[in-house]
Structure 1
Amino acid sequence: MSKLETSLIHEGEHFNTTNSVVSPIYQTSTYFADEDIASFAHAATAPKYPEFYHRHGNPTNSQVAAVIAKLEKTEDALVLATGMAAISTAILAVVQAGDHVVVQNAHYSAALIFMRDFLQQYGVEVTPVDQTDNAAFEKAIRSNTKLIYIETPSNPNLDITDLEFIGKLGKERGITTMIDNTFASPINQVPATYGIDVIVHSATKYLGGHSDLTAGAICGTKEFIDKAWRRSLVLGASLSPFDSWLLLRGLKTLSLRVRQINENTLSLAQWLSGHPLIQKVIYVGLPSHPQHTLAKKQMQGFTGMLCIEVAGADEQAQFARAQALLNGLKLFSNAVSLGGVESLIAHPASMWGASHTAEQRKKSGITAGLLRISVGIEHIDDLIADFEQALS
């Protein structure tokens, strides 16, 4: 069996039927049909068939999916146009009107909006719980619960959910379990090994790694991926040939990038922890994180995401200091998204303020002084020096 780094380069190469070392971009919407009508009918109905019509499949999409499935240790995977396309398609492949879903208080903002607004408008009940409390998940389950949807580490507050507990709970109760594994990446965390049924990603982030594409991925059993693929046909969020090719290219360096990012982030978190203007550093790799022991148990690395909360007498003072820090940083760009080779920083209260109530922000740990940092692969000395000059 190939090692991870080798699989990133060579998995799914059989989908490249040319002599090109680098898989080509199949910039076509449709393919020549076989003269045999029976073969044509098979191509029109077979899940993810790579050479029928682009909304159904694409050879590069098939290769990318094979690599991601290998990483997540699942039978199959499906790639789509965005992370939210993956999240919404996967959820809609599980639930329908009258069903119930257990979620967390802290999730990626767009996922929370999907749960709160879309699902409930269409007759699906949703119960949010504290993800750090195992008993809360069990208590929230009802007779019509069909899905437990988790995200760990969570966005943006970096709380940890107990994967082993959730996987076992789902199996015992016959409930599908699903995780957004974007923040960790499969280099740092493989949820399938803990019994989680479905894994979704915003492949825009670590999997792509260069902030030059949008994509999403769903990983699971072949049966589930076939079902999700049929949902995707009518939802229409197929991944473009060029973005698929970019994603395949980005995946080749995933392990190298993530390991350097992990190392940089731990060093930066340790440095920030000692600064008097930083009130709090939230990083799962620090012993000060309240769930550090659990993180060590289920993660192989601690991710490139950390949060800091600047000091201030009140919210207004915190906001002003957060703004001053953003203005002072030179290497950390004030931008949304994460997981690229470049370092980014964002103010969650500003990003999501319009779509969350004050109570929802509080439950998600989003304060006026909170800053979310995505650490890149720049030299750590330069990253620390940038914060040092900005804080001074």
Structure 2
Amino acid sequence: MLEEGRTALGFTPDEDEVAWFNDLNRRRTSGPRSPQNRTFDGTAGEATLAVHSGTYEDPITGSVGTPIFQTSTFHLDETSYRAFSIGATRDVPIYTRYGNPSQWSVQEKIAALEAAESALVTSSGMSAIAATVYALTNNGSHIITAYDVYGGTYNLMREDMPSAGREVTFVDATNTAEIVGAMRPETQLIFIEGLTNPLLKAPPLREIARIARQNNALLVVDNTLLSPVNMRPLALGADLVVHSATKYLNGHSDLTAGCVVGSRKFLDRVWAQTLRFGGSLEPLSCFLLERGIKTLPLRMRAQNANANGIAAFLGQHEQVKHVHHPSLANYPYGQLENEVHSGYGGMVSFEVHGGDKAALKLMQHLKIPYTATSLGGVESLVSMPANTSHSSLTEIQRAAIGIHPGLIRYSAGIEDLTDLIDDLRQSLDAL
């Protein structure tokens, strides 16, 4: 016999707590979450949060892992009907596109790691980005973004936003004077990356957040390359954070997913946009993502250390023309040191003498990394931006953002550092 007003999953939307549909005060709770989701206060460490936060403690079986709620729909009852009437359908399981306990468990874990009120998981990083940009802007608005954002983001901004009535200005996000100069009265959004791909440029987030606030604009930061283990942009003044959860959050190169993190008031808007786009993440993928995140702090420690070691080795090799990595003394964006709290992620980019021909030869001689796109997995990956992520740009456009012939992007995994360096050495010597 169920307690009155409670579903089998334990959700009890109290009108006093969630009734904001016709209330100008718009009081919102954190979450969505159920009484079965584990939560922790702000004193818990990141490894504890990664393992335990959000776990659905099943009251029937006592399972120590979150079950997979592999269903498209849920039984309707008085709780469900009340959720429709008070505008709280994000907080009650009704239909998996709207929300599913498998989604809420992993969302709670991600929100805890980013120290946020709410999170939303989506079917890909681009789904998260597109829903966020559309939700926070409207026809006639203006967006500021960077020349060297991820290729999918660049194409969304260049191709889709103008046709949707949003004007876009591209700037060098490391130059705050360009951002200030691009601001307009109708600017609603600044979209940048905490660390850029592939050259690891670091825009000054605190300063950009201040500029956004002064101009009544919102700041969205793509934190994919650093992860919440290395940086928490919300603490630096960002309004929302997005991730391609395909990368470090999942960490095993077996899943495509995205997420958006921030305050509940913004996440409710992004959630509604995601419903219209249809970019929900299905339950099995939620299970895999939650399982992957449990080891995120351990993996990031190994990948941070491997990238630091690889960068130091490459910086001393005669066949290497230039190395891009924040751990090196010649790194030009010194403020990053005060904005990260663990490391810089697993990516290292470097140019070899001899241009693209030499870069291709080097990759052919490597024995450990896979030559493949993507990043952030437990296995090391290597690729050339010129013929993958930035192949849509002309040679002049690539040069303008610093992508020169011979550039290689190395995403360090969790293998033994000695093995990775020995492998790089034999491949460089082959040149």
TM-score tier by shorter-chain length is: over 0.9
Cα offset, 1:361, TM superposition: 1.7
Find 2:372's aligned residue among 306, 316, 335. 335
Question: Aligned partners of 1:75 and 1:115: how far apart in 2?
Answer: 28
Cα offset, 1:378, TM superposition: 0.2
Structure 1 residues 192-231: aligned runs within 5 Å: 192-231=234-273
Confirm whether residue 181 of structure 1 aligns to residue 203 of structure 2: no
Q: Flag structure 1 segments of 5+ consecutive residues without an equivalent.
A: 313-317
Equivalent position SS for 1:372? strand
Question: Greater share of helix residues, 1 or 2?
Answer: 1
Partner of 2:55: 13
Cα offset, 1:156, TM superposition: 1.2
Change (3 A) 1:41 1:378: same
Confirm whether residue 25 of structure 1 aligns to residue 62 of structure 2: no
Counterpart AA for 1:38: Y
Confirm whether residue 295 of structure 1 aligns to residue 336 of structure 2: yes
Question: Aligned partners of 1:47 and 1:358: how far apart in 2?
Answer: 49
Counterpart AA for 1:378: E
Question: Aligned partners of 1:117 and 1:338: how far apart in 2?
Answer: 25
Question: Aligned partners of 2:215 and 2:270: how far apart in 1?
Answer: 22
Question: Aligned partners of 1:328 and 1:240: how far apart in 2?
Answer: 39
Cα offset, 1:145, TM superposition: 0.4
Structure 1 residues 256-295: aligned runs within 5 Å: 256-291=298-333, 293-295=334-336
Cα offset, 1:363, TM superposition: 2.9
Change (3 A) 1:213 1:42: farther
Cα offset, 1:50, TM superposition: 5.2
Question: Aligned partners of 1:262 and 1:209: how far apart in 2?
Answer: 14
Cα offset, 1:47, TM superposition: 4.7
Counterpart AA for 1:204: T
Question: Aligned partners of 1:218 and 1:208: how far apart in 2?
Answer: 15
Question: Aligned partners of 2:59 and 2:363: how far apart in 1?
Answer: 48
Equivalent position SS for 2:91? coil
Question: Aligned partners of 1:320 and 1:20: how far apart in 2?
Answer: 54
Query: Following superposition, which runs of at least 4 residues in structure 1 exceed 6 angstroms of deviation?
Result: none
Cα offset, 1:368, TM superposition: 2.5
Asked if the contact 1:129/1:137 (under 8 Å) is kept, the reply is yes
Asked if the contact 1:207/1:254 (under 8 Å) is kept, the reply is yes
- With normalisation by structure 1, the TM-score equals 0.95
Structure 1 residues 1-392: aligned runs within 5 Å: 1-14=43-56, 16-18=58-60, 19-34=62-77, 38-39=81-82, 41=84, 45-49=87-91, 51-291=93-333, 293-300=334-341, 301-312=343-354, 318-392=355-429
Counterpart AA for 2:375: L
Cα offset, 1:322, TM superposition: 0.6
Superposed CA deviations along residues 18-64 of structure 1, whole A, max 9, x for unmatched, are 52111111111111111677346359x52533521110011011011
Counterpart AA for 1:290: P
Alignment: residue pair count: 385
Counterpart AA for 2:147: N
Partner of 2:26: none
Question: Aligned partners of 2:126 and 2:373: how far apart in 1?
Answer: 15
Equivalent position SS for 2:297? helix
Change (3 A) 1:352 1:260: closer
Change (3 A) 1:390 1:194: same
- With normalisation by structure 2, the TM-score equals 0.86
Cα offset, 1:15, TM superposition: 6.8
Counterpart AA for 1:259: R
Cα offset, 1:369, TM superposition: 0.9
Question: Aligned partners of 2:180 and 2:78: how far apart in 1?
Answer: 55
Superposed CA deviations along residues 294-313 of structure 1, whole A, max 9, x for unmatched, are 1211112121111011112x
Question: Aligned partners of 1:284 and 1:303: how far apart in 2?
Answer: 10
Cα offset, 1:289, TM superposition: 1.2
User: Cα RMSD over matched residues?
Assistant: 1.6
Question: Aligned partners of 2:200 and 2:68: how far apart in 1?
Answer: 37
Question: Aligned partners of 2:80 and 2:169: how far apart in 1?
Answer: 49
Question: Aligned partners of 1:59 and 1:49: how far apart in 2?
Answer: 10
Question: Aligned partners of 1:254 and 1:52: how far apart in 2?
Answer: 31
Asked if the contact 1:271/1:384 (under 8 Å) is kept, the reply is yes
Equivalent position SS for 1:381? helix
Counterpart AA for 1:260: A
Cα offset, 1:352, TM superposition: 3.6
Superposed CA deviations along residues 126-174 of structure 1, whole A, max 9, x for unmatched, are 1111122111111110111000111021011111100110111111111
Q: Flag structure 2 segments of 5+ consecutive residues without an equivalent.
A: 1-42
Asked if the contact 2:57/2:64 (under 8 Å) is kept, the reply is no
Counterpart AA for 1:362: A
Question: Aligned partners of 1:69 and 1:205: how far apart in 2?
Answer: 17
Change (3 A) 1:47 1:106: farther
| Identity within the alignment, % | 39
Question: Aligned partners of 1:350 and 1:132: how far apart in 2?
Answer: 25
